[in-house]
Amino acid sequence: MERCQSDTRDTLGAGAAGRLANWQRYESDQTALVRFIHDRLLISRENGYALEKRGKLSLEAIVVRELPQLFSKDDIEIASATLAGIVV
């Protein structure tokens, strides 16, 4: 998550990284952190795609590539679509 926040700041600016920084409130509670990521998947899909295009780590990449075992099938489908550029 720290790398994702750093990549977000470097790529999309301090505002987007600041909103993502709320993950730190859930750092010690994996269930709450997964819920936070789940909630964010539907909010800023353009950000996930922008990070993916630049080879940076996004929440979507965490869901699909890093820790898919923690997420639901629906979360993985949404994240995969975002990474593929389907951001409707």
Segments forming the whole domain that contains residue 50: 2-83
For the chain (length 88 residues), average pLDDT per consecutive 10? 97 94 96 96 89 97 98 97 90
Residue 25 is assigned to a structural domain of this protein? yes
pLDDT at residue 44, as a whole number? 77
The Cα–Cα gap between 37 and 53 comes to: 20
Residue 12 is assigned to a structural domain of this protein? yes
pLDDT at residue 42, as a whole number? 85
Number of folded domains in the chain? 1
Residue 88 is assigned to a structural domain of this protein? no
Q: Is 19 exposed, middle or buried (0-12, 13-18, 19+ CB in 10 A)?
A: middle
